[in-house]
Amino acid sequence: MPTPTRTSLDDIVAAARALLESDGLAGLTMQAVASHVGVRAPSLYKHVGDRDDLIRLVSEATVADLGNRMAAIGSSGSGSTDTGSNDTSSANIAELAREFRRFAHEMPAGYHLVFAPGPHAACPSAESLATAVAPLLAAATALAGPGHALDAARTLTAWANGFLSMELSGSFNLGGDVNHAWEYGLASIIAAISAE
């Protein structure tokens, strides 16, 4: 083994994620990634299938990161059984939503890749996405009851996703304090899905 692996898949994905944030999806080129990990572009094809495959790996890594952070928040509030009080459920779900927003602010391009991919784009796997959002679904179940849990979770994630999508792309060009709008919307949504 004369050239015993000069780079690794982890390095490649890490470099790709950094490039995605700094230069956008268009800046995530095979040549730029290769240069960052110290090899030439053709060498990358020993580690990933092609560019779309690399982008999918970036997406999976990003959603895994999010999942870990959501799980940390989700378990912090309640070591409890099925039915907590409505107050703690509301507080918990609000914390989860805020962590979601923090994550989007920290890596906007990665967030966008995962949660607002185009109609033709490759999404992260259903499992990893489900895992990432599991704490939120649990909190929604506690709040809305098992009968409306899925609808409630979808309503909350749809709102949060749409809000962040517009915030990150700068579509909130009418005036007003965006943080205030976030908290207003969050309170509205939680009240709406709590109401039986």
Candidates 32-40, 64-72, 82-90, 165-173: pick the segment binding a second copy (CB under 8 A): 165-173
**Residues from 11 through 70 that contact a second copy (CB under 8 A):** 24-26
What x/- string results for residues 131 through 160 when contact with a second copy is judged by CB under 8 A? -----------------x-xx--xx-xxxx
Size (the chain), residues: 196
Residue nearer to a second copy on the CB measure, 48 or 160? 160
Size of the site for DNA (CB under 7 A): 24
Tokens of 19: 């490039």
Q: Which does 79 bind (CB under 5 to 8 A by kind): a second copy, DNA, none?
A: none
Report CA 82 to chain centroid distance, whole Å.
Answer: 26
Residue nearer to DNA on the CB measure, 7 or 141? 7
Rounded Cα gap, residues 24 and 58, in angstroms: 13
Q: Is 174 in the site for a second copy (CB under 8 A)?
A: yes
8 phi, psi to nearest 5 deg: -145, 165
- Burial of 68 (C-beta count, 10 Å sphere; 0-12/13-18/19+): exposed
Cβ density class 152-182: b for 16+ within 10 Å, e for less: bbebbbebbbebbeebbeeeeeeeeeeeeeb
Q: Which residues contact 106 (CB under 8 A, 6 or more apart)?
A: none
What x/- string results for residues 23 through 62 when contact with DNA is judged by CB under 7 A? -----xxxxx-x----xxxxx-xxx--xxx----------
Identify whether the C-beta of residue 124 lies closer than 8 Å to the C-beta of residue 64.
Answer: no
Residue nearer to DNA on the CB measure, 36 or 51? 51
DSSP letter at 9 equals H
Candidates 5-13, 69-77, 88-96, 184-192: pick the segment binding a second copy (CB under 8 A): 184-192
What x/- string results for residues 99 through 138 when contact with a second copy is judged by CB under 8 A? ---------xx--x--xxxxxxx-x--x--xx--------
- The contact set with a second copy (CB under 8 A) reads 24-26, 108-109, 112, 115-121, 123, 126, 129-130, 148, 150-151, 154-155, 157-163, 165-166, 168-176, 180-181, 184-185, 188-189, 191-193, 195
